[in-house]
């Protein structure tokens, strides 16, 4: 709920301040977890922006599929808001779904990736 309110606020602020571009960072969770696209049954192969969401519900004059957990559902609804805002008052929008994001000092993902890379060399 708060994520959606924040997304609404960002879109409204962009329009009020005549911002021309908005990039929404969504997510794609690894297929061992429920996600926007993964239904715990089917894998993701050659996925792209045309992949349907999980669990069909009619909304926004198209079929937006609502995922099976609150986090993914919120991200999917946020994407729908951003896509719907595209072209309104000159605002160009897009959504990206990075599979991983790393930051300096990351101690969760990077050490295991580095260790695996060292074993291969």
- Contact yes or no for 47/60 (Cβ under 8 A): no
Please pick, among 75, 77, 84, 119, the residue that the annotation labels catalytic: 75
Q: How far apart are CA 35 and CA 53, in angstroms?
A: 9
Q: Is 77 a catalytic site residue?
A: no
Q: How many residues does the chain have?
A: 121
List of residues 6+ apart from 24 with CB closer than 8 A: 7, 78, 79, 82, 93, 94, 95, 96
> Which positions are annotated as active-site residues?
75
């Amino acid at each position: 709920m708060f994520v959606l309110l924040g997304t609404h606020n960002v879109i409204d602020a962009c329009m009020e301040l005549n911002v021309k571009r908005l990039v929404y960072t969504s997510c794609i969770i690894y297929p061992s977890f429920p996600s926007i696209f993964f239904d715990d049954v089917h894998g993701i192969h050659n996925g792209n922006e045309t992949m349907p969401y999980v669990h069909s519900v009619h909304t926004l004059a198209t079929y937006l599929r609502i995922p099976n957990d609150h986090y993914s559902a919120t991200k999917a609804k946020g994407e729908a808001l951003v896509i719907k805002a595209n072209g309104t008052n000159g605002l160009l929008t897009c959504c990206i779904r990075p599979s991983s994001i790393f930051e300096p000092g990351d101690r969760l993902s990077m050490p295991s990736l580095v260790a695996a890379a060292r074993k291969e060399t």
